[in-house]
Structure 1
Amino acid sequence: MRPFRAGYLAATAVTVAGALTGRQSLQWAAKPLMMPLLAADIATGPADIAPPERTLLLSALGAATVGDVLLIEPDDDRRLIAGASSFAVMQSGYAALWWRRGARPRAHIVVPRVLAWAGAAGLLRTKAPVLAVPLSAYGLTLGSAAVLASDPALAPGAKNIAGVNIPDADPCSRLGLGALLFTVSDGLIVARRLFARGQRSRRVIEGIILATYGCAQFLLADPEAHARH
């Protein structure tokens, strides 16, 4: 494994440990390093990525870095909204990247994600109206990127089951799984905000949020998935 990606995994592990133990100092030390380590791997690695796509990818990771820092304190609604705005920029960058590579919306992939988005938006309107508009708007960018990441056109040789490409030897086939993990992570952010009350449960859910997020970005920002073929 290339050193910057190994460093990313280490930073992710420390970040998750910080969430599980409630030690924000660990998160402040490690979480801001996660996306820059992936960006460094992209910038220095051997993958032949077209310059416009490399720029999109690095810009998306830059926006994610801002979001990561803001969400180190996930119980502050103002930081949550600002973080969602940063991640909306990231998701838009990913969506533009995959659109450039030929991905397009397909009905059997779009419909379940629209239903999930509508359900989450309705829940937010009922339980946390102050968050409903900004997080629902972010959800549109998340869903758009996830739909494109799951398009079979990105990985023609992969099986597609229930609207998700099944990972195989082709790194492009793992983009759909990365987007799915990102969706799970963001769904848990909403669940944690609305339903988790005890300190222990909030820490455990935050740890799962960060672990699924870390796995998602590891797959989505794999330079080999964006290399010219």
Structure 2
Amino acid sequence: MDLARSRTTARRLRAAYVVVAAADTLLAGTGGERAHRARLLSKPLLMPLLAASLATDPRAATSPLRTTTLVAEAGGWGGDVLLLGEGPGRFMAGAGSFAVGHAAYIRGFRDRSRARCGAAPVALAALWVVTTPPLALAAARQDRRLGASVAAYSAVLSSMVAAATRVDGSLGPAARRSTVAGAGLFLFSDAIIGLRELLLEESPRRLESAVMLTYAAAQLLLADGAARAGAPALVPAVSRTPG
């Protein structure tokens, strides 16, 4: 597949992802059996579309974040599917699948991290210490197993965001901005879930739309960061192409 065709395919797949994400966001806030049945189709489509767009993007061919991001998206797909069900067991399994995805992101980010730690990881660690115990205790009141799961998942997620803030600038400023923004938005999305599931007795349905909107945007930004991380290596090859 030539470069122009690959780029077109990647853009079309990314556009399809945005359309499906918008539809799923609306369905998430609608409620009802019909909307739930529709989400059995829309939500599981998200990560395959995004992964296919990254896999076909010529910018990502030389990206050091390509493989780990694809693995992370597979973990996200498992979490998406599992969390379509209800109950503590499905919640813990879904969180575990997402944690595998975060571990893959961490591996990619740490392989390209700066030597200096900076203030962001310290701030995130402090935030975890302050916010996680109340959430874990609230979860344990519902099911004892949930408390440990929430604490462990929160630690992995916070570590992923911290690792994203340490991505080296050599990957390009645009790649770093997308990566940090995507990781931060992922944390915000899961914070809404914690608020809805564990602290609010009757949360408004529109919070589910907020979760999906921020989650879908976070995954898109992380994929964009991975693609842009390979873009600088693509420029010399493009410039040598005969006009």
Q: TM-score, with normalisation over the residues of structure 1? A: 0.85
CA 1:109–1:177 in structure 2 vs 1: closer, same or farther (change >3 Å)? same
CA contact (8 A) 1:105 1:148 kept: no
**Equivalent of residue 174 in structure 1, options 162, 178, 182:** 178
CA contact (8 A) 1:11 1:34 kept: yes
Query: Hey, what's the Cα distance between the residues in 1 that align with 2:88 and 2:37?
Result: 20
Let me know the Cα RMSD of the aligned residues.
Answer: 2.2
Task: Please say if 1:145 is aligned against 2:160.
Answer: yes
Aligned to 2:139: 128
Aligned to 2:187: 183
More deviation, 29-38/138-147: 138-147
Pairing 1:213-224 to 2, within 5 Å after superposition: 213-222=215-224, 223-224=226-227
Q: CA deviation at 1:171?
A: 3.1
Instruction: Name stretches of at least 5 consecutive residues in structure 2 with no aligned partner.
Output: 1-7, 233-243
Alignment size in residue pairs: 215
**Equivalent of residue 18 in structure 2, options 9, 13, 16:** 9
Q: One-letter code of the match for 2:91? A: L
CA contact (8 A) 1:121 1:132 kept: no
CA contact (8 A) 1:149 1:176 kept: yes
Q: CA deviation at 1:177?
A: 1.0
Aligned to 1:31: 43
Instruction: Name stretches of at least 5 consecutive residues in structure 1 with no aligned partner.
Output: 159-169
Q: One-letter code of the match for 1:206? A: E
Query: Computing the radius of gyration over CA atoms, which structure comes out larger, 1 or 2?
Result: 2
> Identity rate of aligned residues, in percent?
33
CA contact (8 A) 1:105 1:147 kept: no
Deviation per CA, 1:98-120, whole angstroms, max 9, x where unpaired?
A: 11223457241112211221223
Aligned to 2:228: 225
Query: Hey, what's the Cα distance between the residues in 2 that align with 1:97 and 1:139?
Result: 19
CA contact (8 A) 2:110 2:163 kept: yes
Query: Hey, what's the Cα distance between the residues in 1 that align with 2:206 and 2:151?
Result: 25
Query: Hey, what's the Cα distance between the residues in 2 that align with 1:174 and 1:39?
Result: 16
Higher RCO, 1 or 2 (CA under 8 Å, sep at least 6)? 2
Q: Secondary structure at the match of 2:59?
A: coil
Query: Hey, what's the Cα distance between the residues in 1 that align with 2:67 and 2:167?
Result: 24
Runs of 4+ in 1 over 3 A off after TM superposition: 48-53, 154-158
Deviation per CA, 1:99-156, whole angstroms, max 9, x where unpaired?
A: 1223457241112211221223211233221322112111121111111211263368
**Equivalent of residue 94 in structure 1, options 105, 125, 139:** 105
As a proportion of its length, which structure holds more helix? 2
